[in-house]
Structure 1
Amino acid sequence: MKIAIASWVNVSSLNDYFDHPVPKELAHLGAPATAVTNIIKGLHELGHEIIVYTLDFRTEKRHIFKGERITFIVEKERHRARYKLWDGWKFETDQIAKLTHEFPADIYHAHWSYEYALGLIKAKVPHLITFRDDSWEILKYFKDVYRLGKFNLDRRVRAKGENFSVNSMYLQQQLSGFRKQLPIVPNPVNPHCIQPKARPFPQHKTIKIISILTGFQKRKNPKKALEAFSHLKKIMVEDLEFHIYGSGFDQGQAGYEWALAHQLTDKVTFHGYTPYDQLIAELPNYDLLFHPALEESFGNTLLEGMAFGIPVVAGQDAGAVPWVLAHGKAGQLVDVHDAKKMAEGIKSVLLNKEVYERLTHAGLARIHNTFATATIAQKYVDLYDKILKDIPLEV
């Protein structure tokens, strides 16, 4: 089957699949989308031919990268948000529609319900659109004109699109007013993260805790996370370190400056933005993954932590998080609105060998049983077959 993927994807994330390495000056093109990259790899490993359409404002011309059964096209988009808002992303959606005619496929799959999805709808091609967030929920956290424009894009996609899926039970429930029982296909884990066995209870002197946050924003809950670590130091005698990765958390940036102003930097290391490959290489050095987000439509970081056998502490009502963590069987669920309760939850894992090792084993088992790349890729192929045979998509 020839499958076209329309989405944000970073070209360098598929470098190993091309006949020639991506030139350094072009490696930045596209945008990181870990789950989509893993899906592409899974579909390719199943023997399918893949075409990727992505847009980037940092190029003035089209770039094409090719390999065995894969073609990756980067097309121009506009840089100015106001132009996109003015005409409802017409130029961008036209670009995607044009690519479907120049680089045709049997089935077309858009990720997220925005310009890539609307481009496929314009092209009138057989399509699947995967919701990866709830535009209304995003708008509640980011009250700005740009997000309002995205919300309107999403509504146009819902009105005109035909076939949809979601990546979590949480999103299925959130979108039940739009369509009931949308098929769930979870995000796949990066197979390079999966360890052959779970890790033992830490015996070393210093215990290292990691949080991976995308921006100093309310939805990711960094302030409560820093307060929780401050409290954790008071209720544990062990030597603790807290390492925060992500944009906004480098020295001089908003997250660091807030922590400094509130005297919450002791034993905290602010790593700032870290490239994905480097982050994955460093993740196994940590003893516990602390995920304080208030809401997640999925949470790829949770998968990577479980795959490395790292116990996870995360929100009991944080969107898809409880479902990803098997409702507490594969991770410790806590009230992320309460710093002291978060600290107590972390302590309960770090001071209890039985709990620690139970979570590492359960997390790794859930990865194998639910989030393996080949399994996820085949679930999508099954949906593609139904669409091409005009069979209604059901759970």
Structure 2
Amino acid sequence: MLPNNEYMTYPPTTNFTIGLMGPIETASFKDILPPPGNQPYPKGLGGSPVNLMARELHLRGYNLILFSLDPSVDTEITIKSERLTIHFGPYRPKHARDFFAVEIKWLTQAVLKQPPDILHAHWTNEFALAAQATGLPHLVTAHDAPFNILRLNFIPYRIACTLMSCKAIWNARYLSVVSPYVADHLKKFMFYRRPTRVISNGMPESIFNRIRTAKPADAPLTFATILVGWSGLKNGEAAIQAFALLHNTLPDCRLIMFGAGHGANEPAEQWAKTQGLQEGIEFVGQLPYEQLIQRLSDEVDIIIHPSLEESQGMALIEPMAMGIPVIAGQDSGAVPWTVDNGKAGILVDITQPKQIANAMLKLANDSTERQRIGQAGLMNAKKRFHIRVVTDAYLQAYQDILQENWT
């Protein structure tokens, strides 16, 4: 990765086109897209890292083509605006059994119909395999540690994804990873020996500059989780159990649960009700990105991140970029690296709800400590995870690939 204190901004070239492949959220581009016609645009699959990087590249003046998928799409949908084209193809979320052959074929054909100068595939499944099938100069970014995810979530879908990742990584000539944890995993379990570059996920300037709403002195202390999916891997049960322990001592505190599977009547709330632990919890679920950020800024005092494994979680760097203190797992993959080994967050054994609750109580009772950890997280995020740093590193990678100067 480039030194964190250097911003090596490359001036855009008018005929230089970058293609990004990965999950995106169309709402992230609503201010630069034309209004939809009679039919709304596809929502997309999320993909905050791709959205944020695309916005930064577009801001710098680069021509962009985004290739993505959406389950609501039957035939290709193309959206065009100034220096930005988005191609959406069909996505069959339950068809991992054929290794997403239809999706890979569509992505490959879509790229070859409008080939960019450099192609960048995020995640090592269908997007990476399609990029490799084009034969164009390309970079693959590994966001996950596949075998660790499979171990914690051993289901047919994950088995198929792991096999796809093996193929994509073994064939990758140019590979970046989002953390040293992922790099070590690929070397150990996939025997990847070519040079890799650590280029983390990034946060835009607007998140760092967001002014958090001053809360009344008597406002209840608010904790939150941001978890994508209700599964053993995400370990949401431990956060609910820990909050229940805290709620016995501080009955006015509250917990907000964000993310898919954590909305009203979704699995998280259903589980909490079966255990009698729903008191004081607001089950919000998945929100558009800007709404999520706004609610974090306006309401949340402390983030609990109980995930058993993270490769370099956006759910950690988002609150850190706003100065919100985080409690996370001491053995959860790249989590310790992300929070600077405990200097920018509290690390605990997140398999033990009592340890989580003790950390929550410590921060609840000490506003000075909350502020100190929040500021440490902010400085850590600004130094290491600013989108300028991330984008500069990727632009350098693109140039090195095109010049065959990858080391």
Aligned pairs (5 A) from 1:30-41: 30-41=44-55
Q: Is residue 16 of structure 1 aligned with residue 31 of structure 2?
A: yes
> Residue type matched to 1:128 in 2?
L
Question: Equivalents in 2 of 1:23, 1:119: separation in Å?
Answer: 30
Query: Which residue among 257, 264, 283 is the counterpart of 2:296?
Result: 283
Q: Which amino acid aligns with 1:49?
A: N
Match of 1:131 in 2: 142
Deviations 1:302-352 (A, max 9, x none): 111112211111111111111111111111111101111111111222222
Distance 1:29 1:226 in 2: 30
Which position in structure 1 is the counterpart of 2:262? Answer: 249
Amino acid at match of 1:296: E
Structure 1 stretch 188-197 or stretch 95-104: which is displaced more?
Answer: 188-197
The number of residue pairs the alignment matches comes to: 388
Change (3 A) 1:118 1:295: same
Equivalent position to 2:173, from 156, 162, 174: 162
The separation in 2 between residues aligned to 1:349 and 1:91, in whole angstroms, is 50
* Structure 2 equivalent of residue 273 of structure 1: 286
Residue 51 of structure 1 aligns to a residue whose secondary structure is strand
Q: Post-superposition shift, 1:261?
A: 1.6
What is the RMSD of the two structures over their aligned residues, measured on CA atoms?
Answer: 2.2
Identity of aligned residues (%): 28
- Cα displacement string for residues 123-146 of structure 1 (whole angstroms, at most 9, x for unaligned residues): 111110000112212222332222
Residue in structure 1 matched with residue 102 of structure 2 by the alignment: 91
Query: Structure 2 vs 1, CA of residues 198 and 279 (structure 1 numbering), >3 Å: closer, same or farther?
Result: closer
TM-score by length of 1: 0.92
The 10-residue stretch of structure 1 (28-37 or 236-245) with the greater mean CA deviation from structure 2: 236-245
Unaligned runs of 5+ in 1: none
2-structure distance, mates of 1:255, 1:196: 30
Deviation, 1:61, is: 2.1
Once the 2 structures are TM-superposed, how far is the Cα of residue 381 of structure 1 from its aligned partner? 0.4
Measured in 2, the distance between the counterparts of 1:129 and 1:29 equals 24
Question: How do 1:280-359 residues align onto structure 2 when only pairs under 5 Å count?
Answer: 280-284=293-297, 285-359=299-373
- TM-score if structure 2 supplies the norm length? 0.89
**What residue in structure 1 maps to residue 121 of structure 2?**
110
Q: CA-to-partner distance for each residue in 1:245-275, whole Å, 9 max, x for gaps?
A: 2232334332212211211112122223333
Distance (whole Å) between structure 2 residues aligned to residue 191 and residue 51 of structure 1: 23
Moved more, 252-261 or 122-131: 252-261
1:68-87, aligned counterparts within 5 Å?
68-77=82-91, 79=92, 81-82=94-95, 85-86=97-98
CA deviations over 1:73-101 (Å, ceiling 9, x no partner): 11234x3734x523x33332222221222
Structure 2 residue corresponding to 1:142, chosen from 129, 144, 153: 153
> Take 2:42 and 2:87, find their aligned partners in 1: how far apart are those partners?
14
Where 2:196 maps in the other structure, the secondary structure is coil
Tell which deviates more after alignment, 189-198 or 259-268. Answer: 189-198
Please tell me whether the aligned partners of residues 174 and 196 of structure 2 are also in contact (alpha carbons under 8 angstroms). Answer: no
Q: What SS does structure 2 have at the residue aligned with 1:109? A: strand
Structure 1 residue 53 corresponds to structure 2 residue 73: no
Q: Which amino acid aligns with 1:96?
A: L
| Residue identity in the other structure for 1:89 | F
Secondary structure, counterpart of 2:115 in structure 1: coil
| From 167, 174, 185, the counterpart of 1:174 | 185
Structure 1 residue identity aligned to 2:60: L
Alignment of 1:178-257 (within 5 A): 178-180=191-193, 182-195=196-209, 203-234=217-248, 236-237=249-250, 239-257=252-270
What displacement does 1:199 show? Answer: 9.0
| Unmatched tracts of structure 2, length 5 or more | 1-15
CA separation in 2, counterparts of 1:169 and 1:146? 26
> CA 1:57 to 1:249, structure 2 compared with 1: closer, same or farther past 3 Å?
closer
State whether residues 223 and 304 of structure 2, in contact with CA within 8 Å, keep that contact through their aligned partners in structure 1.
yes
DSSP 3-state at the match of 2:221? strand
Report if the CA contact (8 A) 2:144-2:311 is conserved.
yes
**How far apart, in 2, do the equivalents of 1:125 and 1:356 lie?**
49
Distance 1:39 1:254 in 2: 32
How far did 1:36 drift? Answer: 0.8
* One-letter code aligned to 2:137: P
2:225 counterpart letter in structure 1: S
Greater shift in the superposed pair: 364-373 or 103-112 = 364-373
Q: CA deviation at 1:197?
A: 7.3
> Structure 1 residues 126 and 154, CA, compared in 2 at 3 Å: closer, same or farther?
same
Structure 1 residues 136-191: Cα deviation after superposition (integer angstroms, max 9, x where no partner): 12222332222211111111112222110001122122112333562111101143
Q: Check the 8 A contact 1:128/1:163 in 2, yes or no.
A: yes
Q: Which region of structure 1 is more displaced relative to structure 2, 175-184 or 263-272?
A: 175-184
Deviations 1:2-26 (CA, angstroms, capped at 9, x unpaired)? 11001111223212222x1244733
1:201/1:353 contact within 8 Å kept: no
